[in-house]
Amino acid sequence: KNQVEQSPQSLIILEGKNCTLQCNYTVSPFSNLRWYKQDTGRGPVSLTIMTFSENTKSNGRYTATLDADTKQSSLHITASQLSDSASYICVVSAGIHDMRFGAGTRLTVKP
């Protein structure tokens, strides 16, 4: 069973709207949590990295939150753009060589 679960599996929103993607994990011990954006046919691109002591991190219109107690993270996208259409992958690291990837949320932004 994957120790990093993402929801929803896919999401369709209208341009300009906000959305929130969820990531729940059971990985232990916990080192850090990362969100990546992966365009179709491309490699993932890092959006945010959060360690245990951080509970929010922003990168432009992307804001990630982390609740290490409940082992939940969310990625909030504000004022979505067509170029936000991609897969968003949550990655939880238990150590240097132990990165667990979620299956991703496929986001489609429509005009």
Partner 1 sequence: ETGVTQSPTHLIKTRGQQVTLRCSSQSGHNTVSWYQQALGQGPQFIFQYYREEENGRGNFPPRFSGLQFPNYSSELNVNALELDDSALYLCASSLLAGGPTDTQYFGPGTRLTVL
Q: Which residues of 87-103 are buried (b: 16+ CB within 10 A; e: fewer)?
A: bbbbbbbbeeeeebbbe
* Residue 32 near partner 1 by CB under 8 A: yes
Q: For partner 1, give the closer residue by CB, 10 or 18.
A: 10
Adjacent-strand bridge partners of 21: 75
Residue 14 touches partner 1, criterion: CB under 8 A: no
Contact between 17 and partner 1 by CB under 8 A: the answer reads no
The answer to whether residue 19 forms part of the interface with partner 1 (CB under 8 A) is: no
CA separation, residue 20 to residues 6, 11, 28, 44, 75 (Å): 11, 10, 24, 19, 6
Query: Does 27 participate in binding partner 1 (rule CB under 8 A)?
Result: no
Least distance (Å) between residue 105 CB and partner 1 = 11
Q: Which of 29, 83, 96, 111 binds partner 1 (CB under 8 A)?
A: 96
Residues 6+ apart with CB under 8 A from 22: 6, 7, 8, 72, 73, 74
Binding residues for partner 1, rule: CB under 8 A, are 2, 4, 31-32, 36, 41-46, 49, 51, 89, 91, 93, 96-99, 101-104
